[in-house]
Amino acid sequence: MALCSTFCPRVSTHLNCKPFSLFPIKPRFFVSIKALSSQTSASTPKADDLSASIGFLGLGIMGSPMAQNLIKAGRDVTVWNRTKSKCEPLISLGAKYKSTPEEVAASCDVTFAMLADPESAADVACGKYGAAKGMGPGKGYVDVSTVDGETSKLICEHIRATGAHFLEAPVSGSKKPAEDGQLIFLTAGDSVLYDKVAPLLDIMGKSRFYLGEVGKGAAMKLVVNMVMGSMMASFSEGLVLSEKVGLDPSVLVEVISQGAISAPMYALKGPSMVKSSYPTAFPLKHQQKDLRLALGLAESVSQPIPIAAASNELYKVAKSHGLSDQDFSAVIEALKVKLQHQT
Ligand SMILES: NC(=O)C1=CN([C@@H]2O[C@H](COP(=O)(O)OP(=O)(O)OC[C@H]3O[C@@H](n4cnc5c(N)ncnc54)[C@H](OP(=O)(O)O)[C@@H]3O)[C@@H](O)[C@H]2O)C=CC1
Ligand SMILES: O=CCCC(=O)O
């Protein structure tokens, strides 16, 4: 097994590449005791044995393959999605179904949620038939959606008020890593729940970071996606400019791939962007949401982020041209539209 290493300033880490196993023998990620809050293990949710029942709320591009991997690993999974038809493929694989988030949470030891945005994440957790209504001591709620820290804290309050534990665990990695169980979890919250769900995170992901109190996972995720959104906007400008000055953008993709600014994202998305094809892995509307939330995060600490702010504007233009549900690489189309107007 190839060994990788990584460094996180808050915790010391030793990371090796993912073994796909129902029974991970050793934690892949060693976290310094200082980084963990002190909690008792009394009435903590069971998730680290095969009999634990697992709920999954939100079966979109990411939630479906994540839930599928849990089912394929032999776990007892109960699903819910606003659009019920998206539950069918998972039910065919052996998942149970409940008709509200409340019922899922009431019938499961640990419930995961993968929702679109802060509004849907809060509604599914804290709304009328929300998961919090079904939570209680001994249970756990793991929100893997990308939301801002404030929303995460609000959800946490509702969950903890029932006596249950809460973990925020947004993910880095897109549709393919979700399918391949290669996501990166950025977790924060109740460390006792983190320890319990670690084997489940290891089924769905290749690594996990525990970052401290609620809000830190959300912040890490937003910073990562802020960088990603700006990188894609800049790459788009390069592709459009290269073509405009008579270069072959495919050659630009190749040149970039061999130099210091090479990135898997450019190599993955570049060839289809050159063909004006944007098969959706990460919807553009979600990238713009993440830039918007990153701007809010920066505002909260009076930190200027002018590059991200300019990128956000470009994604807003792309949205206004009906590209919300295309892959975020479709942001390049916003530049083409501008150029047409200029000529
Ligand atoms: N796609 C990606 O590459 C990645 C996405 N993320 C983040 O993960 C989250 C999910 O992303 P993704 O799966 O791509 O998104 P999708 O748009 O494919 O799925 C969104 C999910 O949220 C549900 N939903 C939306 N609005 C509501 C609502 N008001 N009430 C209840 N449920 C609602 C949808 O239900 P319905 O089916 O009924 O519409 C669906 O299950 C987002 O926060 C995104 O930023 C994180 C990493 C990578
Ligand atoms: O939030 C989406 C992240 C997509 C990715 O990490 O490739």
Q: Is the distance from the beta carbon of residue 328 to the nearest atom of ligand 2 less than 6 Å? A: no
Instruction: State residue 88 phi and psi, 5-degree precision.
Output: -55, -50
pLDDT for 46 equals: 61
The whole-number pLDDT of residue 34 equals 25
Residues whose beta carbon lies within 6 Å of some atom of ligand 1: 58-63, 81-83, 86, 114-117, 120, 123-124, 145-146, 171, 174-175, 281-283, 286
Question: Which DSSP category does 85 fall into?
Answer: G
Q: Is 225 in the pocket of ligand 2 (CB under 6 A)?
A: yes
Residue 3 to residues 6, 16, 69, 158, 201: CA-CA distances in angstroms?
A: 10, 5, 23, 40, 19
Report which bound ligand comes closest to the CA of 170. Answer: 1
- Residue 221: active-site member: yes
SS3 readout for 308-320: HHHHHHHHHHHHH
Interatomic CA distance for residues 233 and 85, integer angstroms:
35
SS3 content of the chain, % helix, strand, coil (to 5): 50, 15, 40
Question: Does 288 sit in the ligand 2 pocket, CB within 6 Å?
Answer: no
The residue nearest atom 5 of ligand 2, judged by CA position, is 173
Beta 110-113 vs 53-57: how paired, if at all? parallel
User: Ligand 2 centre and the CA of 117: distance in Å?
Assistant: 14
Q: Is 145 in the pocket of ligand 2 (CB under 6 A)?
A: no
Number of alpha helices (DSSP H) and beta strands (DSSP E) in the chain? 13, 9
Is residue 144 within 8 A of residue 66, CB to CB? The reply is yes
The ligand whose atoms approach the alpha carbon of 178 most closely is 1
pLDDT of residue 323: 98
- Tell me, what's the ipTM? 0.99
End-to-end CA distance of the chain: 55
Residue 37 per-residue DSSP state:
P
Pocket mutation for ligand 1, best pick of 68, 79, 286, 326 (most atoms within 8 Å of C-beta):
286
pTM of the model: 0.89
Q: Ligand 1 test: best mutation among 115, 222, 227, most atoms within 8 Å of CB?
A: 115
pLDDT of residue 37: 32
Residue 79 CA to residue 164 CA, distance in Å, equals 20
151 in contact with ligand 2, CB cutoff 6 A: no
Element (H, E) at 191: helix 191-204
Whether residue 282 has its Cβ less than 6 Å from ligand 2: yes
HEC secondary structure over 289-308: HHHHHHHHHHHHCCCCCHHH
Question: Which of 18, 139, 216, 221 does the annotation list as catalytic?
Answer: 221
Which pLDDT tens digits describe the chain residue by residue (343 residues)? 232 332 233 333 323 234 323 223 333 343 332 233 333 334 566 665 668 999 999 999 999 999 999 999 999 999 999 999 999 999 999 999 999 999 999 999 999 999 999 999 999 999 999 999 999 999 999 999 999 999 999 999 999 999 999 999 999 999 999 999 999 999 999 999 999 999 999 999 999 999 999 999 999 999 999 999 999 999 999 999 999 999 999 999 999 999 999 999 999 999 999 999 999 999 999 999 999 999 999 999 999 999 999 999 999 999 999 999 999 999 999 999 654 555 5
> Nearest ligand to the C-alpha of residue 117?
1
